Amino acid sequence: MAYKSVIEILTAIKNKDVSASELTSDYLNRIKDNDDDLNCFITVTEESAMRKAKEIDDEISKGIFKPLSGLPIAQKDIFCTKGVKTSCGSKMLDNFISPYDATVIEKLNNAGTIMLGKTNMDEFAMGSSNETSFYGPVKNPWNKDYVPGGSSGGSASAVAARISPCSTGTDTGGSIRQPASLCGICGLKPTYGRVSRFGMIAFASSLDQAGLFTTDALDAAVLLKEISGHDPKDSTSSDVDVPDYYDYCINNNKSTYTIGIPDEFTKDLNDEVKKSFFDSIKVLEKIGCKIKNIKLEHTGLGVSAYQVVAPAECSSNLSRFDGVRFGHRSKKASSLEELYRESRSEGFGKEVKRRILVGTYALSAGYYDAYYLKAQKVRNLIAQDFKNAFSEVDLILGPTTPDKAFKIGEKMNDPIAMYLSDVYTVSTNLAGLPAMSIPMGFKDKLPLGLQIIGNHFDEKNILKLCHLYQRETDWHVQEPND
């Protein structure tokens, strides 16, 4: 059974070439065969997956087809799933059974997908290597000594290893695009507000956005339509119309774009990454795109501003994990103060604690103006840079990451080096823009990613350009074990 993409799977189901049960059982077997080693999954929901597959097959036999009927999918363990452990990669939630479904989960369930399990991730999505997970690091299927990136490392590695055809992720500073880049697949972070955040465990509320991993841009187009739209349960979700992305990619005549390349994204690149990137640009020029050099002058401030805003919000968002109503509760506590301090200190890992402390500092009396408020102004500065750029160009391109994947353990004790690996991705989160990473080549047999940034709510043109690029190239169909 060798279906290459979500679209092939949906077609095969529709043509009754394969049943949902057969397909699900095939993927569950692939997980069994590979995941002891890769560690992509925290929880495999075999039983409920097979039950759901049977339901879908029954529906299909009655002629009921939903948009994604029978599609197996892996869900990042940051999304609450009713009755299933939802850990967020943390000891804090090792025993947490969610009493409700996230909106993204509900929408995907209703569209007919079959959840294979919950994927590994950096603890509370704080990390760029998947090494901060309570459940151990995930491996990169291209070379198991290397990280898959993070925080959505499990979701990215699972799709790259073809043990799930697609998966969900979340992106606060690059947590979809960076692992997609390092694992050689497509990772789409939609516009802030495009997809509901309800039921997605918050890291930094004004930056977090749910998105997708697939192997093909068209697959992402099909899935995005199903998870997008206003959710009455999320005040920050937008009611901007959701187009038929797939239809736009296939049938719309638009075929050329004015593409901006910011100097700030290319000037410090190593030779291999630079070559892959400019080779990709040549491909786009060949199909008629116009290239323009632009400035995103304040890119260099992105990581610093991000490392204020994200920890500030996280320090508050993570206060609910106090051991009182759910999650880890220390057995050592004999007073309320101890209950709080011991439960939180035992439940959170080092990186999470660091960010809580930095965030608490940035919001505290005497430092608020210099850190939090100033960072919000820098955020505006960065947003203005993009606004100016989009008055001249349709899309902005650059590499997703400064380099290929790094080795497991290599940056674990150097938080600053880890933070700086997000240099090309954080600024889009600060500005709330949509962006996607697709494979553009290899360095030392490890994948490299091309990042396409669009204007607010312009996912359709990002997807279309990716589709056009993928028609000309074959990076995205290469598999780790070829």
Partner 1 sequence: MDKKTIDKLTFLSKLSIPESDIDELSKNLDNILKLIGEIDAAPTDGLAPMAHPLDFNQPLRDDVSKKNINRNENQYDQTKTKDGYYTVPKILD
Partner 2 sequence: MTNMWETVIGLEIHVQLATNSKLFSSSSTNFGAEQNTQASVIDLAMPGVLPVLNKKAVEMAIMFGLSVDAKIAEKSIFARKNYFYPDLPKGYQISQYELPVVYDGKLSINVDGNEKVIGITRAHLEEDAGKSIHDLYDGQSAIDLNRAGTPLIEIVSEPDMRSAGEAVAYLKKIHSIVRCLGISDGNMEEGSFRCDANISLRKPGDKFGIRAEIKNINSFKFVESAINYEVDRQQEILESGGSVNQETRLYDPKKNETRPMRSKEEANDYRYFPDPDLLPVSISDDEISRIKQFLPELPDTKKERFINEYSIKIDDAEILSSSSELSDYFEQSIKTATSEIQLLANFILSEVIGLCNKNNIDISQAKVKPEDVAKLNNYIGDGKISMKQAKEILSEAWISSVPVDQIIASNNIEQISDPDLLTDVAKKLLEMHPKEVQDYRNGKDKLMGFFVGQIMKETQGKANPKVLNQVLIKLLKGV
- Select from partner 1, partner 2, none the partner in contact with residue 199, using the beta carbon and a kind-dependent cut-off of 5 to 8 Å: partner 2
Q: 291 or 333: whose CB is closer to partner 2?
A: 333
Contact (Cβ atoms closer than 8 angstroms) between residue 140 and residue 186:
no
DSSP state of 456: T
Q: Is 432 in the site for partner 1 (CB under 8 A)?
A: yes
Question: Min. distance of Cβ 313 from partner 2 in angstroms?
Answer: 6
Which one of 25, 48, 143, 236 is in contact with partner 1 (CB under 8 A)?
Answer: 236
The amino acid at residue 112 is G
Q: Which residues, numbered 121-180, are part of the site for partner 2 (CB under 8 A)?
A: none
**Cis bond leading into 151, ω under 30°?**
yes
Cα separation, 211 vs 221, in Å, equals: 11
Cα gap 179→163, rounded to integer Å: 16
Instruction: Report how far residue 75's alpha carbon sits from residue 289's, in angstroms, rounded to the nearest whole number.
Output: 36
The catalytic residue positions are 76, 151, 175
Cα separation, 133 vs 126, in Å, equals 9
Q: 293 by DSSP, 3-state: which?
A: strand
Q: Please give the radius of gyration of the chain, using alpha carbons only, rounded to the nearest integer.
A: 21
Query: What is the pattern of x (binds partner 1, CB under 8 A) and - over residues 20-59?
Result: ----------------------------------------
Backbone phi and psi for residue 298, each to the nearest 5 degrees, phi listed first: -100, 20
Query: What is the DSSP code string of 161-172?
Result: TTSSS-EEEEES
Here the tokens at position 346 are 């035992």
Reduced DSSP (H G I as helix, E B as strand, rest coil) percent helix, strand, coil of the chain, to 5: 45, 15, 40
Q: Is 106 in the site for partner 2 (CB under 8 A)?
A: no
Candidates 8, 278, 285, 340; binder of partner 2 (CB under 8 A) is 340
Residue 86 as a binder of partner 2 (CB under 8 A): the answer is yes
Q: Is 283 exposed, middle or buried (0-12, 13-18, 19+ CB in 10 A)?
A: middle
**Alpha helical stretches, state H, 66-126:** 103-110
User: In this chain, which of 66, 91, 275, 374 binds partner 1, going by CB under 8 A?
Assistant: 374
Size of the site for partner 2 (CB under 8 A): 44
304 binds, among partner 2, partner 1, none (CB under 5 to 8 A by kind): partner 1
Query: Alpha-carbon distance 274 to 122, whole Å?
Result: 29
Helices (H), 161-240: 177-183, 217-227
Question: What is the rounded distance in angstroms from the CA atom of residue 268 to the CA atom of residue 171?
Answer: 24
Candidates 265, 419, 424, 469: give the one binding partner 1 (CB under 8 A).
419
Local structure of 339: helix, strand or coil: helix
The binder of partner 1 chosen from 293, 335, 391, 481 (CB under 8 A):
335
- Say which entry of partner 1, partner 2, none residue 20 contacts (CB below 5 to 8 A, set by partner kind): none
Under the criterion CB under 8 A, does residue 298 sit at the interface with partner 1? yes
Which positions from 253 through 292 interact with partner 1, judged by CB under 8 A?
A: none
Binding mask 182-221 for partner 2 (x = CB under 8 A): ---------------xxxxxx-xxx---------------
> Of 329, 404, 464, 467, which one interacts with partner 1 (CB under 8 A)?
329
Return d(Cα 429, Cα 209) in angstroms, integer: 8
Stretch that binds partner 1, among 45-53, 118-126, 430-438, 463-471 (CB under 8 A): 430-438
Where do contacts with partner 1 occur on this chain (CB under 8 A)? 95, 97, 99, 192-193, 206-207, 232, 235-236, 238, 298, 300-301, 303-305, 307-308, 315, 319, 322, 324-326, 329, 333-342, 344-345, 348, 350, 353-354, 356-358, 360-362, 364, 370-371, 373-381, 383-384, 415-416, 419, 430-433
Where do contacts with partner 2 occur on this chain (CB under 8 A)? 79-80, 86, 88, 93, 96, 98-100, 102, 197-202, 204-206, 232-236, 312-313, 315-316, 318-322, 324-326, 336, 340, 360, 363-365, 368, 372
